[in-house]
A and B are shown apart, each in its own frame.
Chain A
Amino acid sequence: MAEKKKIYLQPTPVRIWHWINAFGIITLTVSGAQIRFPEYITFLGSYKSAIYLHNTAGFVVAISFSLWFFYYMFVSRTMANLYVPKAADLKTGLVRQAKFYFLTYFLGWENPHHPTPENKFNPMQKSVYLGVMFVMMPLVSLSGIFLTNVDPLRELIVMVGGLKLLAGLHFLLACCLIAFIPTHVYLATLGHTPMEHIKTMWSGWEDEETEEAGTQENKDELASRRAA
């Protein structure tokens, strides 16, 4: 027996951050492409416009990232719970979620993970977001800050291996984040309807189908709580 209820999954600060981040990253991608390939890409007019836009968008994304970090870390205090995979996630959760995405989804089975405000991400999301938000975003922002302050930070740049290493790292990390966009957008369409998760990221509310029997994941979570 399944019944529908609405849950408030994405609080306002997170939604604001998400869309600033999304438009910021798209702006950074386009301007970054012109900065690297100026003889071929001239979407934004002059090279100088592309540089200024890239620097401004980078600054906005870095500030918005800091606010996101501050919110989850000190306001909602759910950072570790949401983003750090637990032992059960790594032992069985990852395989279960991968099995769903790459096999049982095509057979029409239900997603084993049901998001709640305390446990929004499935084990695969947690692992990927951990890398994206705690490794790639800080590194790409930091390398960008270094690249916009080459003269005053010259000695530190030489210490970390040189300007080319830094620019190369910035470029490859940006490529990884750009590669994440189509995957991220595609996976966002895997709800009960293609727009379900996207609407949630706009309104904050998600339709939740709860089943009396509960999912395997929820059972695991209950078992682990009892054991604790």
Chain B
Amino acid sequence: MSSHLDTSALARIRSLELRAKVIVEGLWKGMHRSPYHGFSVEFSEYRAYVQGDDPRYIDWKVLARSDRTYIKKFEDETNLRCQLVVDHSRSMSFNSGSMTKADYAATLAATMALFLMQQGDAVGVTTFGPTLQEHIPARNRPGHLRRLMLELEKPAPTGATSLDLSVSQLADLVRKRGLICLVSDLLAPVEKLERQLGLLGAMGHDVVLFHVMDRAEIDFSFDKAAHFRDAETGTERFIDPASAREVYLNRLNVHRDFIRRACERQGIEYHWTPTDTPIEHVLFDFLSARLKKKGGVARR
């Protein structure tokens, strides 16, 4: 990828759908060697071979007949169902840069929805706070993308995060095997999270976890002592960042390591996504990881 949009530039695009399109087009444009063109059931098109294309896909018969190199493209017959699960709790409203975590999560989810639907996959969206809030089942029909976007654009994050409850409810709702992308800051007790995520894995779902955090949360880059108010619970504590920083960072790392190890144990794909990471990078990493995973989402 030669270029990408940074999050601050992206934040200036108000429409979530447009934002998602910009990212996806950029993603396509920058790919020289497409990782998605595998083999497919249905013929899609012929295309002149350009340097960098995989020679495996050259149509040798056409070459023999016309002495021209063509690439034969196929359209995959999809059976992937992707459920995007987005955290809508109040803690997601925090930001120190141009985008709140909620904005970032919505953009990421919208981008993935657009990308997957362009591939013909079925995409659904679930939002959650203390409990599940909205659930749109995965489909692939005209107008569905629009509905997904509207849901993701809803701006009212409320209440505390209750991961355990939400995941168990989700397991009840999503019965068909598919891909479950969980986008959250995971700022909640995570003791039972491993068990719930393991339950989803046991149901045959591919689970991908996007851990979204703001840079200020990661570095705890506050200087002035102040009364800090918990966005979810409303409790206030006097904190002097200079003295509290070390403990905070320590505990945060412990928390993150716990989640990452839990994901490893359960075979869950974990993506660390600070909100200042360009979304193309996240998407690219995600797609690269899927490609490595044989029989993943891009079986072509």
Q: Are A and B subunits of one complex?
A: no
Name B's A-contacting residues (CB within 8 A): none
